[in-house]
Chains A and B, each alone.
Chain A
Amino acid sequence: MLETVFLNHILSWIVFTPVIGIIVLFFIPKEKTRALQWVSVLATFIAFVLSAILWYRFQPSSAEMQAVEYATWIPQFGIGYSMGVDGISMPLVVLTTLLSFLAAVASFSIKERIKEYYILYLLLVTGMLGVFVSLDLVLFYVFWEVVLVPMYFLIGIWGGARREYAAIKFFLYTLLGSVVMLLGILALFFKGGAETFNMLELGAKNFGLQFQIIVYLALFLGFAIKVPIFPFHTWLPDAHVEAPTAISVLLAGVLLKMGAYGILRISYSIVPNGALWFALPLAILGLINIIYGALVAMAQKDMKKLVAYSSVSHMGYVLLGIAALTYMGFNGAVLQMFNHGIITGALFLLVGVIYDRAHVRQIDGFGGLARTMPIFAGVMSFSCFASLGLPGLSGFIGEFFCLVGAFKPNAALSMDFAFKAIVIASASGIVITAGYFLWMLQRIFMGKENEKWKKLPDISGRELFTIIPLMILMLLIGIWPRLLVDVMNPTIIRMVDFVASLAGGK
């Protein structure tokens, strides 16, 4: 009974637990604030526990898809309800459930239209989880779009002053990307011959190079906007600045990963020759993201914008690691995705803490806060150092191995020299990154205590509750990266070998 209903369909349970939460929410009157909040927190917590069970049952030594589910859905078009996780999606599922749970707790600071908020919030969570477990392109696309709609309303209704502009920009920009992506998906379907949307089956097909390049580019636009890759990144700072804290956390922590995950899962698996063809441009875009993002971050006056641009910079390492097509690069990239999720999630939570108290986010307006809010100062400094790649904390591992992995790219690419130059240029980003984070810390926390903020209370227990798990993870992964790498490695080996074997017949 347990086996058939529950364990064999654990992915569906994980993905749709939030939907069950939504159904429950429908029956709760909207004045019952506490009940609404706790039901939502419970729904996300159950999803988190289920994903922990999934992790526990996951066979790390295997590179195969696990916890696979299949049901026919629209057989006329070869569309199936197909789900599974491997070493790449497993960490991202856990990342999503964890951040969703913590952000649900952080959402207690939302004071108006709570019922609507949580309904949309839970729908968003289902969408994000679905993206990471779908093995069918149509299912993937459906979840991809499901993410979009609640996000639009969450920013547009509960956001800051320019929320409508930011929400529409986010929606249209992403929609543009996903429509072009859909064209790519349809092209795969029609060219596939077998007329299937199943990713694994399509991955086994051998498409012509021309076709692969076109499809790659179509998919790439969708993913690039989501990551976001320069020059498609400008929706991000606007969306972040306007979004409420919890939504910023999910936006940076999970949504950006969807883009990079798509590149790995779809582009590299189904149109590998297109991906190989685009390896060098991807690495160059990674370099631009790293350096340009860091430079723009340094000039920001708003804390949230600074963190948003730091995301642009950090996602650059992911691109660099992916482009190099090495074991270390891929491992570094997925590590960086996970770590960026927890670190930037924490940073957005922390910016939210200060914003809830002071109602401003201008970096220059503060000063001397280390004395007023010592615990907050410690936690914030910890997270900033994790983000600037301090060894011992998780941010370092991803960055370092993305660089190591890209410095000697896969021999199949035969672009040794170009990658070396790109990596050296990218590595200089560590100086700029240290620069803007330390400068921000100095302006907020150091110097004379500002009379205006002398009364601010230190970080509260509930706020600490949302951040401490992330800090523990930063430390744990920083010291013991095997926690993730052991799970990822077999899948990554298989994937890298598969793509590399297609290059020049090697």
Chain B
Amino acid sequence: MSFWIPLGIVALPILGFALIIFFGKKLPLKGASVGISALGASFLLSLWCFIHMQGAPADTAYNFNLDWVVFGNFTVTLGFLIDRFSATMMLTVSLVAWLIHIYSVGYMHGDRRFTTYFAYLGLFTTSMLGIVTANNFFQVFIFWELVGLSSYLLIGFWYEKKSAADAGKKAFIVNRIGDFGFLVGILALFAGLGTFSFQEIFSAAEGAVHNPALYPILAVGAFGVLCGAVGKSAQLPLHVWLPDAMEGPTPVSALIHAATMVAAGVYLVARCFPLFSAVPNVAEVVAWTGGLTAIFSATIAIVQVDIKRVLAYSTVSQLGFMMMAAGVGSDTAAIFHLTTHAFFKALLFLGAGSVIYALHTNDLREMGGLYKKMKTTAITFIVGGLALAGFPPFSGFFSKDEILASVWESGHYALFAIAAITAFLTALYTFRLIFLAFFGKESEAASQAHESPKVMTVPLVVLGFFALVAGWIAIPGLGKGFAGLAHTHHHGEPNWMLMGVSVLIVTMGIFTAWVIFHKRWISKERLYNSFYYIAKILEAKYWFDELYHYCVVKPLLWFSRFCRIFDLRVIDGAVNAVGYLTVAASKAEGSFDLKVIDGAVDGTGWLVRFLGRIFRRFQTGQVQEYIILVSIAVLAIVVVGVFLF
């Protein structure tokens, strides 16, 4: 493979970005054509890569390095690592991004900043492809931050709305908190091992069994990676930005906040599998972070009334699932689920976008009976829903089953219980959404609705196809098995019993949703009232936003204001005080000078004049007086002389 192929894959979208920014308005389709063709080319190259890697031996890895800059005697290199893992990621990212580019032509039609939108999409895609192809931590960090930038720009795309501007800012800052940890991790790894390279760090990690001194370095490094992943993949406790990110245009939510960017954290943890294997304690933290996030956000998803927020919490929950898999040591299952999730969650978001486009509302309570009005959207949405719920033979079933199996087999039974409950909740909230939006009584808004244009429905159908079949590579005998997606360490036979349990759980979840939200045999209101406090907690999203607002944001702002006043009053006050004291001292000296020193000078003069005035009296100019005075003087001298001698 040539160096130019990964370079082309990564660089094409950003070339599109540059073209669109400078010449966008003059290009066909106001610049969208450039974005779509750049992404199309990138996708074809990725496809070629993927096929090539599937044909090559499983552990083939192409490492391309470029000397970037030399500090002292250390050369910082940039480069690409192309193996099955990154080939899968490149294919997923470029395919989903391409479809979403096309869909956006319809969805963003008529927007004032249509051209800018496509430029930002290109910037994002390059950053995301940069993460999945990097062969070292430094480069990952670069693109990691760029992904954050494009996410910021796209969440806040409708910046005139305060909530959108706030959400963009929040996303960037919360991500930077995670990145702070990530940065420290990278620093520790570099200080300890003297390299940023994946290959060298992982081989050191694999050799750490013989070198326990490396343990603390690897632990800090792994924990740093986890911090970064927690921020980017919206895991507890940094999940708060993702639901707010739904302020962005819906295709953006589909691409960035469902299919790709948020998966970057999971990707990185899975990529660092050897690192986490060397420090099992940290891996345990990863697994529990994922498990808790999964169940935590699944519970919130049940009570949300905004169609996009349901999907957002569902994304957080599914990412938790992947994280859990990566934590228990099944990076392959994590990546498998990442891939299938990318398809079906992008599909669900785009479906939701199609609904929003038709109804001009996000509110589930204003929907209902849409099935008859928007058949393509509804059917593809149900396909996505079944995949998300994990119903066979849809893709989600296979990947979720892999995760459940790997958690079970690793002996984490408590986590398995959490995962099973989450699976039930997932089926429940997914079908709650489907029944509320597409079935039941036709709402007022729904009666006016029309199916969206072809440019939007065709991507839905394509994604629907992948949401159905993407999991089938896991069926023994079909293809190489999903191990072909990533690494080779795949456990053996399918666990039929687990599969049965998983199908049962999902069916129960769907059935419950059907009973409550479709047939309404159990009244929603009664349920709500009997679980009033729980429902309130869930609606308040466990008060995380409030907690952060009052315990982090407010105190920080308060402290920053304190620093400003401190700077003004104390530090600068001291400077001004010195100045003031100097002036005061010089004034005091001035008056001392005037009164005492100069006073002495003046005083001398005054004295002379005073004496002068006295002696002037004697200078009368009359000789008789002078003779009398002289005679008195002579007499006085004689008298004094007689007395003394």
Contacts and interface: CB of A to CB of B under 8 A. Distances in A.
A299 B572 contact: no
A447 B71 contact: no
Contact of B72 (A385, A447, A492): A492
Interface string A422-466: 011001101110110011001001111100000000000000000
Contact of B145 (A173, A390, A407, A427): A390
Interface residues of A toward B: which range?
35 or more
A391 interface: yes
A150 to B, nearest CB: 22
B74 A327 contact: yes
A371 B176 CA distance: 27
Interface stretch (A119-127, A198-206, A290-298, A339-347): A290-298
A370 interface: yes
A328 B74 contact: yes
B445 interface: no
10 contacts: A331-B72, A391-B145, A404-B187, A407-B187, A427-B187, A430-B183, A434-B176, A438-B172, A442-B159, A482-B70
Interface in B59-74: 68-74
B331 interface: no
Contact of A481 (B69, B149, B561, B574): B69
Interface stretch (B84-92, B456-464, B563-571): B563-571
A360 B180 CA distance: 35
Contacts of B188: 407
A403 B557 CA distance: 26
B160 interface: yes
A272 interface: no
B630 interface: no
A408 B71 CA distance: 14
Given A428-B180, A438-B172, A447-B159, A234 B563 contact: no
A12 interface: no
B71 A401 contact: yes
B173 A438 contact: yes
A493 B184 CA distance: 26
B567 A296 contact: yes
Contact of A435 (B160, B165, B173, B561): B173
A358 interface: no
A310 B322 CA distance: 40
A429 B141 CA distance: 17
Interface string B116-143: 0000000000000000000000000111
Contact of B567 (A234, A396, A492): A234
A377 B170 CA distance: 20
A447 B187 CA distance: 38
Given A368-B160, A447-B165, A489-B71, A391 B142 contact: yes
Contacts of A493: 72-73
B413 interface: no
B24 to A, nearest CB: 13
B563 A434 contact: no
Contacts of A299: 557, 560-561, 563-564
B177 interface: yes
A447 B190 contact: no
Contacts of B156: 446
Contacts of A486: 70
Contact of A447 (B70, B162, B561): B162
B422 to A, nearest CB: 31
B575 A234 contact: yes
Interface in A306-364: 326-328, 331-332
Given A234-B572, A407-B191, A424-B184, A391 B146 contact: yes
B176 A296 contact: no
B69 A295 contact: no
Given A423-B187, A482-B69, A489-B72, A298 B172 contact: no
A241 interface: no
B453 interface: no
User: Nearest 5 A-B pairs (CB), nearest first?
Assistant: A327-B72, A299-B564, A234-B572, A391-B142, A446-B165
A169 interface: yes
Contact of A408 (B143, B177, B191, B557): B191
A418 interface: no
A295 B560 contact: yes
Interface residues of B, number: 46
B177 A235 contact: no
Nearest to B178: A431
B169 interface: yes
Q: Per DSSP, are chain A's interface residues mostly helix, strand or loop, or mixed? A: helix
A169 B69 contact: no
Contacts of B152: 438
A326 B159 contact: no
A69 B215 CA distance: 55
Interface string A227-246: 00011011100100000000
Interface of B: 68-74, 141-143, 145-146, 149, 152, 156, 159-160, 162, 165-166, 169, 172-173, 176-177, 179-180, 183-184, 187-188, 190-191, 556-557, 559-561, 563-564, 567, 571-572, 574-575, 579
B571 A231 contact: yes
Interface string A244-287: 00000000000000000000000000000000000000000000
Given A169-B579, A489-B72, A493-B73, 6 more contacts: A235-B575, A326-B72, A331-B72, A391-B145, A404-B187, A434-B172
A446 B160 contact: yes
Contacts of B179: 430
A301 to B, nearest CB: 9
Contacts of B74: 327-328
Nearest to A478: B142
B67 to A, nearest CB: 9
B72 A300 contact: no
A489 B176 contact: no
Contact of B169 (A230, A371, A396, A439): A439
A404 B146 contact: no
Contacts of A442: 159, 165-166, 169
A318 to B, nearest CB: 16
Given A370-B159, A391-B145, A431 B177 contact: yes
B169 A438 contact: yes
Contacts of A446: 156, 159-160, 162, 165
Contacts of B73: 327, 493
Contacts of A391: 141-143, 145-146
A214 interface: no
Contact of A430 (B68, B180, B190): B180
Contacts of A300: 564
A403 B187 contact: yes
Contacts of A235: 575
Interface in A169-189: 169, 172-173
Contact of B183 (A234, A390, A427): A427
B227 to A, nearest CB: 12
A392 interface: yes
B560 A173 contact: no
A328 B187 CA distance: 12
A169 B575 contact: yes
Contact of B180 (A332, A390, A407, A431): A431
Contacts of A390: 145-146, 149
A485 B70 contact: yes
A370 B157 CA distance: 11
A489 B68 CA distance: 14
Contact of B564 (A296, A423, A448): A296
A496 interface: yes
Interface in A377-407: 385, 390-392, 396, 401, 403-405, 407
A485 B69 contact: yes
B160 A449 contact: yes
A432 B563 CA distance: 13
Nearest to B14: A392
A262 to B, nearest CB: 21
A46 B203 CA distance: 55
A81 B174 CA distance: 55
